[in-house]
Chain A
């Protein structure tokens, strides 16, 4: 499945990675070769094979509904780039 310049830009946008045109061109080349390698998968007949999401056939364990966490806002916000009045700040979001 051939990769195009627009695919790289689209992925970069979805992943919120700033790329300029020349970087995009560079990644297009790399990603194209990686996908070419990955495309070997298409040659394998997997009819009737169930996808495997986890290596062990384990099932989800459930947690009792208990409040176990206490307020650690100050600790957590010490590593935050911008906070005010306990809120994380980001550039204005327009709805």
Chain B
């Protein structure tokens, strides 16, 4: 039987506010345990929450970024359950009236095609603390620094049909939130976490199958692998006559499998009700309009502009707009050199290759956009040839000079375009290569084109790579043909 996979994602994004969603404690990552948990975060008796404006603004920006409805009124509810990392015994969240209504996210698949994934809603809530299980005499230690960090939970419709689509969706969300600057998107530090709902159904069937929820899948790669495993498991189960149970599962990256979390003795009953310590959040139109007017260009628009205005290929436009850092770098290079296609080639080619080799992010590139821009400009105005340009890039990468011009100067890489100088080098090479000249002369005229490569190489070598290759080519041809 043919099976179809149905996937929905709940993505939790930590918002990049300075302070917590309901308190004035810092959200900085990595502090000593409980040093950033104030009375409100600890749920001490009598303290009260006050909502952070930046968290609201960031949620609305996200909503605008996915063309979602922004309801005028949203309400915070309490989700009640006991857990040691949940200090108040409830999580303040939004159950019934979320801050962001239905919207959609465009994803780009590997073949360059796009697909729209509907977002059901996004709501604000507070993060929980962390339980540390290393041995405290058989006890668990609780660190509440993270408690109260603002989270935006983005809930998709079950619109994805493959692990690749799910990963592409997650990347698109990552790209939107980092473009907007509302999250650092750092998955390793837990700034973005993901729960995946997976079910399978016979191809052509309309009704959804029973779904399993895979909790806390925290990298793009794991999302793909967890789904791949889970889909296999469900299909095998059904084909063997079994049934998928609606349950929560955990992905274990070490074993590369999902497994059932210990079933609780009874289903949860979160007893949601409106938080009486917080009032309805009312967003006036002027506020929303102001945020809309100040929205940065988002990846989808950028991709379209790169393709349309700058004339890049669909592939290049997609890659260069995928992350805000990449796009900004590329645009800065383009600004300096004045040639979008050359800039795209260099950023995607030499630079990305070097970054990948060293495992560096673009933000950590040893070569700045301004430096690379100048280098590309020198290629464009033919001050240096391509080969020399690569040398200059290596020198910049290893901090052998501050700028392309300085390196060109110091290394004497300036392209030689003086015809007299090139002719002298050609004459020397011809004089030193009687055998090759003889071969050339004896060859059929249509084979000679290939044979000229040897002479070009020798001349370039003699010029230490600085001669203009086109000039060398033309002059050589002239001189050799004169000998025939």
Contact = CB atoms under 8 A, between A and B. Distances in A.
Given A69-B25, A84-B141, A89-B141, A76 B42 contact: yes
B131 interface: yes
B132 A65 contact: no
B80, B82, B140, B280 — which one has the most chain A CB atoms within 10 A of its CB?
Answer: B140
Interface in A45-95: 53-54, 58-69, 71-73, 76-77, 82, 84-95
Interface residues of A, number: 36
Interface stretch (B44-52, B106-114, B416-424): B44-52
B39 A90 contact: no
Interface stretch (B269-277, B317-325, B366-374, B432-440): B269-277
A13 interface: yes
B278 interface: yes
B139 A60 contact: no
A86 B33 contact: yes
Interface residues on B, range: 35 or more
Binding site secondary structure of chain A: loop
A94 B18 CA distance: 33
Contacts of B385: none
B246 interface: no
A69 B138 CA distance: 33
Contact of B23 (A54, A69, A90): A69
B141 A88 contact: yes
A89 B136 contact: yes
Contacts of B50: 61, 63
Nearest to B268: A14
Contacts of B269: 14
A73 B136 contact: no
Contacts of B282: 59-60
B84 A13 contact: no
Given A53-B276, A62-B52, A77-B34, A85 B141 contact: yes
B290 interface: no
Contacts, number: 123
Contacts of B17: 65
Nearest to B150: A65
A60 B34 contact: no
A94 B274 CA distance: 31
A92 B412 CA distance: 68
B21 to A, nearest CB: 10
Given A66-B18, A90-B84, A76 B142 contact: no
Given A67-B19, A71-B35, A87 B132 contact: yes
Contacts of A77: 34
Given A84-B141, A87-B142, A69 B271 contact: no
B54 interface: yes
B398 interface: no
Given A53-B274, A59-B280, A63-B50, A86 B35 contact: yes
Contact of B139 (A59, A91, A95): A91
Interface in A1-20: 10, 13-14, 16
B26 A69 contact: yes
B51 A65 contact: no
B35 to A, nearest CB: 4
B266 interface: yes
Given A87-B141, A89-B139, A89-B141, A71 B36 contact: yes
Given A14-B269, A90-B140, 15 more contacts: A10-B266, A14-B271, A60-B280, A61-B51, A65-B52, A67-B18, A67-B24, A69-B24, A71-B36, A73-B37, A76-B44, A86-B32, A91-B140, A92-B133, A93-B84
